[in-house]
Structure 1
Amino acid sequence: MRLAVLKERRPAETRVAATPETVKKYKALGLAVAVEAGAGLKAGVTDAAFAEAGAEVAPDAKAALDGADIVLKVRAPLAAGEGEVDELAMLPRGALLLGQLGTEHAGAFAERGVDAGSMELLPRITRAQSMDILSSQANLAGYRAVVEAAAAFDRGFPMLMTAAGTVPAANVFVMGAGVAGLQAIATARRLGGRVSATDVRPAAKEEIKSLGAAFIGHEDEESRAAQTAGGYAKPMSAAFLAKQAEVVADAIKKFDIVVCTALVQGRKAPTLVSQPMVESMKPGSVIVDLAADAGGNCAMTKPGEMVTTPNGVRVLGYTNWPGRIPAASSALYARNLLTFLTTFWDKEAGAPKLPPEDEIVRGVMLTRGGQVVHPSLQQQAKAA
């Protein structure tokens, strides 16, 4: 059985879906592993390192995919017209494709006859924690957000006492206390900032306080039911958002750094920082928007760019935040994929066995046997 790892060709994607560490473990399962030349270079992994781990270094995507039974990607394969290579057309029929694929490509995968699993759809259950790509990547994004904020901030992060006087600690506000937000809080605290945070979910208040940050936010009956069974934030009513915005607007003007991390699964990111809020902030302040890929939490975010507002506030709207720390994010992502495959590995058959009734498999698989099988997509098709 052959496993192929392709180079990522989508803009600003620096990660790779396997590392020498995971290649060795795939080889131990009895897999032949082919890695496209240059696949790991942006993440600091050379072709020689893959070869030393036992992989065949294939000269191009076509050679890597030739006879592949399993294909690992970070992002969805390019289709005709999307780039210089039509990766989708090269995928062998019947192959298992794993990556952060998105649901919009499901029809194309079914037509191609590929069994596609989109790992960001993994259910949030205990069994799945070690293969959860959203958590592993968000953790690094939260860390990187604070590092980037510190680099863009013109003053010191910790309090600095010198013979010439004292530099006060930076006041940091983290909006959203999921995995990324909690890591941002912890990183800002480690750097010596004075940290406050907000979140609509009831459990978040104690989590924020447990990391030594102050909680800011509106609380009412709606906020006490603001979390789904899977741990995600629910969409909130206009009335609640208005009250929360009042609290934030009153507080935000005193902060030097604001880190926005709020996402609602499957929806456009909520706008939490309005233009008037930005205009109320001090010159030299920094806003880091981790939700830029989903439209942004800040009204003045420009996805993929850092902009300076007329009042001197820097808004960092970079996309693909995990890709800004590619060596670490690739290592964790690769382990997530390895854990998924080994969890469902049939030793006798020497191949993955993906029972459709399993909760994890049902949550991840978009297509199987030329059919779209994900429950949410089937419901959408029926509704249409």
Structure 2
Amino acid sequence: MDVRSLLFAIVCAVASAGCGLVVDLDLPDPSPPSDAGAGADASLRDATIPDGAVHPADAAIVDAAILDASRPDGVYVPSNIESRSFWNLGGGAVATREDGCYCSFLNTDTGEISGMLSGDRAPGRGLDPVSGIYFEVVPQASGPDLGVFVMEQLTVRSPFDFDGLYLYGDNALVLLVRGEVEIDGHLGDGSGSNGYRGGAARAPGAGPLGGLPSASLMEGGGGGGFAGSGGAGSGSVRGGAASGDETLVPLLQGSGGGGGYEGAGGRGGRGIQISSLLRIRASAQSLIDVRGSGGQSGGGGGGAGGAVLLEAPEVELAGRIVANGGGGGSCSARGSLGSSEVARAPGAEGCGGRGGAGGGADAVDGGDAIEGTEGAGGGGAAGRIRINATSGVFDSLRTSPLRTSEGVSFGRLP
């Protein structure tokens, strides 16, 4: 437990009221990062180097700002990024407007950031000379491409939990923030869901385990899988099985629902990773949202919820993190977008049947469709949430799926 957390715990014990739950993640040491076999990274793990220190051999790739005394926690290798040298590629700040304007956008494919209080970033890869923010598209061997942004600070504020920073583009998002992250509003997709695509009519959903498609009028598409299995469409059309690792390495997105006999499956939720060298704070009003979309009318299966990976030496999290699956479509109506609350999205009703509910809350699996005179789609599974830290405050955090489910896990920061 670090000094700050220890002092906080002592004060709580004396006062015996009004303190949040301080959690020291006293977990086994993680496996070394992929580049720990030689050079500076291997030396960093030498027992003679104090915790939180930067080994002299690593100093060449860490600039003076990171080595400043205000950053006592050292430099770690971010998940899904091969080298800690990425921290040194950019700076600048991202700060959203605070007037509820619905106008702060980030594109994971082009690198464009617009409508910001802090100023905009033009499209393009590399270091933007105006904003100081670096952007690159980094491929993953077993997952979607990553749109990686490197910045000094991230502030998402809004008077409403449904406004803040809206995300666009097909790539999963990685934000490498050298300073503090503060979230006091909404961070998520601006138009439905942007994970793996749902299958067109009578086609399977995209992703590692997309839902299977309908083959006849009486069948519906299966829901996309992720932390759990997607629900079966009517006619026993299978949903996608559970997939991915709880560490979210690689960073996956929610799989798409299978296409119905006439309607497309819902799209899965996005993958989001936020890594900070200092701390991540999320207020009680914050909402980090990677919901899957509902299956379309005509029996489309619901898309699975996406992925949220947060990592920093210190995390103080309240508010909501939701990775709920979308509901299955019926013969005549679209299934609901995954819920923004700790709840399951309902499937659509029609023709005497009903689409399956999306996974979420206490159920990571998508619900099975109820058969009617025409096909209905299965619900999309819930997604995954992962938090890597040294210590943190989590008692006011609400997650969907629940923290007690296999969809949520915690790890010790390397």
TM-score by length of 2: 0.28
Q: Identify the structure with bigger relative contact order (alpha carbons < 8 Å, sequence gap 6+).
A: 1
Q: Which has the higher strand share?
A: 2
Q: Which has the higher helix share?
A: 1
TM-score by length of 1: 0.29
